[in-house]
Amino acid sequence: MVTFYQNKKIFLTGHTGFKGSWLLCWLNSLGAVVKGYSLEPANEHGLFNLIDGKLNFQHQIGDIRDKENLENSIIDFQPDIIFHLAAQPLVRKSYQIPSETFDVNVVGTCNVLEAVNKLQKKCIVICITTDKVYENKEQHYHYKEEDNLGGFDPYSASKAACEIAISSFRNSFFNRSNYHTHQKAVVSARAGNVIGGGDFSEDRIVPDIIRALQNNKEIEVRNPKAIRPWQHVLEPLNGYLVLAQLAFEDYNFVSNAYNFGPTSNDHLPVHTLVEIAINNWGNGQWKDTSKNNNVHEANLLMLDITKANTELNWQPKLNSQQAIEWTINWYKEGKSLDYTLNQIKKYTTL
């Protein structure tokens, strides 16, 4: 991977977001030629605002629902690889704007893939969905890529619908049997609950923790017993990078979808994450506000990462506790582009 991305043309949607900003930093360090397409950054203190003007990349503000603008941007750039991260990514917000959530996530993804269909060159597309695409039965079970799709809340359902749309485009326009003709590979990546520095979104546990700690307030925890596949942001990004390289080099050996998450015995409840964060910060208190939580959120969600391990030779480098510590340290000691790049460098040496 160290040399593969050198001078590769990468089109990155959602580059102003949390995960997109981290991927932008990593791709820049690998020598890739990156064009980002996204809305304006949602948070003034987010990672992207530490990057802007300091790294070398093309920056275009645009909405993935603007089909013509997006298509022109992709075709003009002629990418080798597309990482499609742009989305409405918040469960609780999806209850407030359900139609817009489906519009952004499903129609936006279709717009990306329709533009790819008009490219007259080889192109690999990694579509980022979520661990929440599965029909969650709230059982002690690690979901596999072949399990049924579902989605109780609008966000989860919209991402499951994305998976169906991706599969349709793959079958209809980018069929594997005709790969030698169209030269398009489309794979979906389903990541667990991602944490890391530079995230200041509303209604996400780590930003909520940081805001409370910085203001000497109790941390309000609305689902303390809920179990999640926590992972540092660099873990799935590493998976995306490995996946794109292998798909580019030999699509025949790559499956249609992959889970990226922690090992099977490393799924932690929310209250444990909060307690590790407080311990690492040095002080703080939390309180259970589950009685005030008036929207449905999954209580138990675990991923099976066997396929990524066996087919991509990918596995997490950090356990959940280390992921939390790296995250809190970013807010406590870092909050800079240099600190971010140093964490990337440190991660690659593990």
CATH of the domain at 246: 3.40.50.720
In a domain, 4, yes or no: no
Structural domain containing residue 301: 9-348
Q: Where are the alpha helices (DSSP H) in the chain?
A: 18-29, 48-51, 67-77, 91-96, 98-102, 108-117, 154-172, 179-182, 205-214, 234-249, 270-281, 306-312, 320-329, 337-348
CB neighbours of 291 closer than 8 A, spacing ≥ 6?
Answer: none
Q: Which residue has the tokens 């949390």?
A: 18
Spatial distance between the Cα atoms of 191 and 231, rounded to a whole number of angstroms: 9
In a domain, 3, yes or no: no
pTM of whole model > 0.85?
Answer: yes
**What's the mean pLDDT when you consider all of the chain?**
94
Let me know: does 300 contact 138? Beta carbons within 8 Å: yes
Q: pLDDT in tens for each of the 350 residues of the chain?
A: 789 999 999 999 999 999 999 999 999 999 999 999 999 998 888 999 998 789 999 999 999 999 999 999 999 999 999 999 999 988 889 999 999 999 999 999 999 999 999 999 999 999 999 999 999 887 778 999 999 999 899 999 999 999 999 999 999 999 999 999 999 999 999 997 899 999 998 888 999 999 999 999 999 998 899 888 899 999 999 999 999 999 999 999 999 999 999 999 999 999 999 999 999 999 999 999 987 666 656 677 889 999 999 999 999 999 999 999 999 999 999 889 999 999 999 999 99
**Position 207 in a domain:** yes
Q: Is 295 within a domain?
A: yes
59-105 pLDDT, tens per residue?
A: 999 999 999 999 999 999 999 999 999 999 888 899 999 999 999 99
| Token duo for residue 43 | 């948070």
Q: Cα 142 vs. chain centroid, distance in angstroms?
A: 19
2, part of any domain: no
Give the span between the Cα atoms of 316 and 305, in whole angstroms: 10
Pairing of strands 227-228, 268-269: antiparallel
- What is the spatial distance between Cα 349 and Cα 145, in angstroms, rounded to a whole number? 29
Contacts 24+ apart (CB under 8 A), 65-69: 65/103, 65/104, 65/107, 65/108, 65/111, 67/111, 67/114, 67/115
When divided into structural domains, the chain yields a total of 1
